[in-house]
Amino acid sequence: MTHAQEHKSHTKLIWKVFIILSVITIAEVFLGIIKPDVLYLTKFLGTSPLNIIFLILTLVKAYYITWFFMHMADEKKSLRRAVVWTAVFLIIYLATLLLIEGSYINDVLGPLTKWNY
Amino acid sequence: MEVTIPTENDGTSWNGGNNKPLGTSYGKMMMWFFILSDALTFSGFLGAYGLMRFKFHDSWPIADEVFTHFPFLHGVHAPMYYVAIMTFILIFSSVTMVLAVDAGHQMNKKKVTFYMLLTIVGGAIFLGSQAWEWKNFINGTYGAVELNDGKIIQFVDATGEQITLESFVKSKHSGRTQLTKNKGVWFMKESEIPPFTLNEVVESFKANPEVSIRTEQINPDTKTKTIVPHNQALAYLNEAKTVVMGANLQVNEYGKTLFANFFFFITGFHGFHVLSGVIINTIVFFNVIVGTYERRGHYEMVEKVGLYWHFVDLVWVFVFTFFYLI
């Protein structure tokens, strides 16, 4: 089959991506266990800097999995945008509304919660 | 610009003919759109979790205090390690999956078989780990007391470390043993009798002045649960309703019941995806062995099931972040 010759093996790239994903996971777990006070107890963009770091690292991992494991990088631009943009915009929209609503409920409900007996 | 016009197909296939509007086969394109819709479903669940977490952000259970078990290390406080290993297993099974896809491109049946097998084994280990994680969560670690308004009270020693009920409660055995099937006349049994009654907990608490309690409320400066001194604690325990061991859909010794509900639902839904992934992988694995794809001339089915398997890994990356890290 000629088909077989068209595809070069991507084994090297796969192991490289695996190493990147592992390093990110190890960094996440390490930060999650030691929880340095400067990152954990301070505030940045409405949450702790540690949470922002976790979010960014998660998105980086998602990018590597989608682009190189699911081979999104090799797909046509039209398919890539139909899938990725739809997900990204809808999820951002949903998350924004839900989280704003959640912290509003907390503002209203929090002071009414009884903690002293 | 080219226009895509449906051309006739032979009527015996459901592969959508020879048109490839987005440059991929019908099956692969549909797998991508299925994954898109499934991703939105999971976002809905995680979004709902985020809503409740923001709502109760000053009293939500702290993940490090909930998931602390490690196999063969009893009583050792080991947060995160086990779930980190689970994450690695899933990532690694993703790697073997993509290696199988890669071998499929080269029509290398032997390699595809080997890597598919490794992927299935990885998925099975992950499922077993998740079952173990659930078991620990359901059985609980410390035990707690639920108040009339649903709040959870946990017990701490003089240093502020959480302690188990067994470590200070003296049981005055009521003499009643649990009714099990082998003692019953017919298929008679009852749910487990809690090891301690509420009264025993309160009495033992009074007898141990070094024990105090902590509420669910989180001190924003230290991000730890608020500890109530022993002499003020009885006012709380007078409101106590029941002794709680472990977590289920009604009560949760670690704090908010909602936490348990979301944990069971989201990790359960993800676990169900892993299970179906393992089953589909197994079917494809046997198809590889009997040479179905060799005869077909391409291993695209391995690619399609690979897409699904990677998606399951992708979802776990997010579940791991939102349940265990943040």
Q: Check whether residue A85 and residue A55 sit in a common domain.
A: no
Span B220-246, average pLDDT: 90
Does A68 share its domain with A89? no
How close A68 comes to chain B (CA, Å)?
9
Cβ–Cβ gap B215/A115 under 8 Å: yes
Q: List beta partners, residue B147.
A: B240
For residue B2, pLDDT beyond 60: no
pLDDT tens by residue, B174-191: 666 777 888 778 878 776
Identify whether residues A16 and A55 lie together within a single domain. Answer: yes
Q: Within this chain, do residues A82 and A54 fall inside the same structural domain, yes or no?
A: no
Burial class from Cβ neighbours inside 10 Å (0-12, 13-18, 19+) for residue B170 reads: exposed
ipTM score = 0.91
- DSSP line for B105-171: HTT-HHHHHHHHHHHHHHHHHHHHHHHHHHHHHHH-SS-EEEETTS-EEEEE-TTS-B--STTTPPP
Rounded to an integer, what is the distance from CA A7 to the centroid of its chain? 31
Asked whether residue A79 is assigned to any structural domain, the reply reads: yes
Cβ–Cβ below 8 Å for B326 and A55:
yes
pLDDT one-digit tens code per residue, B5-55: 555 555 555 555 666 778 888 889 999 999 999 999 999 999 999 999 999
Number of independent structural domains in chain A: 2
- B-contacting residues of A 26-55, CB under 8 Å? 26, 28-29, 32-33, 40-41, 51, 54-55
Q: Is residue B60's pLDDT more than 70?
A: yes
Q: Kindly state whether residue A93 falls inside one of the protein's structural domains.
A: yes
Assess whether A65 and A88 both reside in one domain.
Answer: no
Fold of domain B39-140+259-325: Four Helix Bundle (Hemerythrin (Met), subunit A) (1.20.120)
Q: What is the pLDDT of residue B18?
A: 67
Verify that A103 and A69 share a domain, yes or no: no
- Closest chain B residue by Cα to residue A23: B88
- Pick among B40, B119, B325 to test the A interface (most A CBs inside 10 A): B325
Position A101 in a domain? yes
Based on the domain organization, do A54 and A90 belong to the same domain? no
Segment A5-22 shows an average pLDDT of: 84
Closest to B46 (Cα-Cα) out of B317, B273, B277, B251:
B317
Do A59 and A98 belong to one domain?
no
Identify whether residues A41 and A59 lie together within a single domain.
Answer: yes
Residue A5: per-residue pLDDT: 47
Residues A8 and A50 in one domain: yes
Inter-chain residue contact A98 with B47, CB threshold 8 Å: yes
Domain ranges, ordered by start, for chain B? 39-140+259-325, 144-245
pLDDT over 70 at B195, yes or no? yes
CA distance A102 to chain B (A): 5
B239 lies within 8 A of chain A by CB: yes
The mean pLDDT of chain B is 89
Distance from CA of B304 to the nearest CA of A (A): 9
In chain A, which residue's Cα lies nearest the Cα of B218? A115
In a domain, A49, yes or no: yes
Between CA A37 and CA A45, with CA A43 as vertex, the angle to 5 degrees is 140
Residue B171 pLDDT greater than 70, yes or no = yes
pLDDT bracket for residue A43 (50, 70, 90)? confident
For residue A4, what pLDDT is reported?
Answer: 45
Residue A117 located in a structural domain: no
Residue A106 in any domain: the answer is: yes
Q: Which domain holds residue A87?
A: 75-112
What are the residue ranges of helices labelled H in A1-117? 2-6, 11-34, 37-40, 49-64, 77-109
Statement to judge: residues A53 and A82 lie in one domain: no
Q: Is residue A22 one of the residues assigned to a domain?
A: yes
Same domain, A69 and A81: no
Query: Could you tell me if B215 lies within 8 Å of chain A, comparing CB atoms?
Result: yes
